[in-house]
Amino acid sequence: MADEIAEQPEAIRRTLDALLPLREELRGLFAGRRRVSFVARGSSDNAATYGRYLLEACAGVSAALAAPSIATHYRADLDLTDTLLVAVSQSGATTEIVECVDWARSHGAAIVSVTNVADSPLAKGADVALVTRAGPEVAVPATKTYLTQLVAMAVLADALGADLEQDLARVADEVAGAVRGAELVEPAVALLRDAAHVVVTGRGLCLGTALETALKIEETSLTPVRGYSYADLRHGPISVIEPSVVAVLVAASDGPMLEPMTALADDLRRRGARVVGIGGDTPFARTCDVHVPGPDLPEPVAPLGLVVPAQLLVEQLARARGHDPDNPRGLAKVTRTDSH
């Protein structure tokens, strides 16, 4: 896992080189359609969450996350002639997602796939295949395949109206800097190592990163972790915050969510929780018990950099707790769900 985290700067560069030339095809495929729907599972679903916010906030395109069971179990008869379906799977072989593509196409949708395997069923079944260039991933937890999925989401958004190309050109260097600063997560690891309860939260464009961080801590450290939207945490679960809780907050260094995230950090500390902040600005950092620096990137592409210190934290935390982050108990690379 550590080696694959370190490979990410080059994986980003390769993926941008491969996908940016496909923007004209993506624009043509979306022409005459009104909305984008994402279908995914696991880490890919967290990448899709970023894609959904990015399209709506920066490209002015209506977007949503689809429920795979609508296709695979309910067999709903929907009119999708105005829809671009984006199917996301690192392996491109998740049966449920492939079935969703077949269903959506039969109901009029155009299909974009995001996968790391060029000859996978998902890539072959798409009108446009965004094949990431992460290279083979050996560790079970997704790192470079996840980050290159975020790159694909940003390329899609750029194609459909967001202006991201210049900022995307800076991402690989920012990620390389985060990899070189791996020791900066050590104080956060020390705080989380013996935590009885962990919650992770973010909002808007950074929500997917928060959910991905929670998922990775849970699956590698074998302890329950709750990932919340800032808004959902505020609407009830915050009442159970107490001194046994360590809260991990993920924030960009600018944008409309930064001030609310800083206020949340202050509120959580007053309730007795200890707070680990990833990213944000100087006031945000001062409000946290432990702060891990984030990338020098604007909010629309900040999640591509913010996930890297989170990955480093996850890898080191698993080892500090005596677990093997490369092979978490009971997990496999390809997501499988029931077929009946």
Catalytically annotated residue among 124, 144, 216, 333:
333
Q: For residues 34 and 82, is the Cβ–Cβ distance under 8 A?
A: yes
The DSSP annotation for 258-326 comes to HHHHHHHHHHHHHTT-EEEEEE--HHHHHHSSEEE---S--TTTHHHHHHHHHHHHHHHHHHHTT--TT
Long-range contacts of 225-229 (CB under 8 A, 24+ apart): 225/198, 225/199, 225/200, 226/198, 226/199, 226/200, 227/199, 227/200, 227/201, 228/199, 228/200, 228/201, 229/201, 229/202, 229/203
The DSSP annotation for 176-193 comes to HHHHHTGGGGHHHHHHHH
The C-alpha atoms of residue 330 and residue 313 are separated, in whole angstroms, by 21
Ramachandran sector of residue 323 (left: φ over 0; alpha: ψ -120 to 50; beta: rest): beta
Helix, strand or coil for residue 227? strand
DSSP secondary structure code for residue 74 in this structure: S
Q: State yes or no: is 124 an active-site residue.
A: no
Q: What are the C-alpha distances in Å from 162 to residues 39, 58, 154, 204, 252?
A: 21, 5, 8, 16, 18
Q: Which residues are catalytic?
A: 333
